[in-house]
């Protein structure tokens, strides 16, 4: 009996962090976010977090609705038991589809993001607008934990963070 050759499907994990092709994510199957609730139009959406950010931690928000969101009265926190741990800067609005970055450090927020932590944004009505929970290693040095595609997708680890720019693998 001759040896049979089977085609072995090699499972390649593409480490394409340098790719900047941008608009190529629409073929991806979008699963419901495992680490965050689905975005709610009209409420601010957390789009990306960098828990090992340089020179400081930061998070990026976006607006999946069709009207600008005024951040007056919005707060953010790493402890949902204390919703108003930090306020957004006065006069900040986020246009539909805009990607806006806020620093999270002792000066700007009074806290920083830990490697195994969560971030929640509360609306002026005191309700959670969005929140995300990450584990050790999911937001590595130089990388981030981000919705792909922007505003809608589940959070995944990006090896290269994209502050103020569209999230890509
Ligand atoms: Ca940190
Ligand atoms: Ca981004």
Determine the distance from the C-alpha atom of residue 130 to the mean position of all C-alpha atoms in its chain, rounded to a whole number: 10
In tens, the pLDDT along 31-89 reads 445 567 677 778 899 999 999 999 999 999 999 999 999 999 999 999 989 999 999 99
Q: What pLDDT, on the 0 to 100 scale, is given for residue 169? A: 66
Going along the chain from its start, the domains and CATH numbers come out as 32-158 (2.60.40.1260)
pTM above 0.85, yes or no: no
Q: Tokens 């806006």, residue?
A: 100
Q: How many A from CA of 91 to the centre of ligand 2? A: 22
Q: How many A from CA of 53 to the centre of ligand 2? A: 13
Contacts of 84 (CB under 8 A, 6+ apart): 75, 77, 122
d(CA 52, CA 32): 25
Ramachandran category for residue 91: left, alpha or beta (phi over 0 → left; psi -120 to 50 → alpha): left
Q: How many A from CA of 48 to the centre of ligand 1? A: 14
* Ligand closest to CA 59: 2
* Cα distance from N-terminal residue to C-terminal residue, the chain: 46
Q: How many A from CA of 82 to the centre of ligand 2? A: 26
Q: Tokens 């680490």, residue?
A: 35
């Amino acid at each position: 009996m001759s040896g049979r050759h089977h085609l072995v499907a090699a499972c390649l994990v593409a480490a394409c962090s340098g790719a900047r092709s941008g608009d190529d994510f629409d073929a991806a199957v979008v699963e419901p976010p495992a680490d965050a609730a689905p975005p709610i139009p009209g409420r601010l959406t957390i789009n990306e977090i960098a828990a090992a950010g340089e020179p400081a931690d930061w998070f990026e928000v976006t607006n999946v609705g069709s009207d600008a969101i005024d951040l007056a009265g919005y707060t953010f926190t790493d402890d949902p038991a204390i919703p108003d741990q930090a306020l957004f800067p006065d006069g900040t609005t986020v246009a539909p589809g805009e990607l806006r970055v806020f620093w999270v450090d002792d000066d700007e927020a009074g806290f920083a993001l830990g490697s195994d932590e969560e971030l929640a944004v509360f609306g002026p009505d005191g309700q959670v607008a969005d929140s995300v929970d990450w584990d050790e290693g999911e937001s590595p040095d130089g990388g981030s934990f981000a919705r792909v595609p922007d505003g809608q997708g589940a959070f995944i680890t990006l090896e290269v963070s994209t502050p103020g720019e569209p999230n890509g693998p």
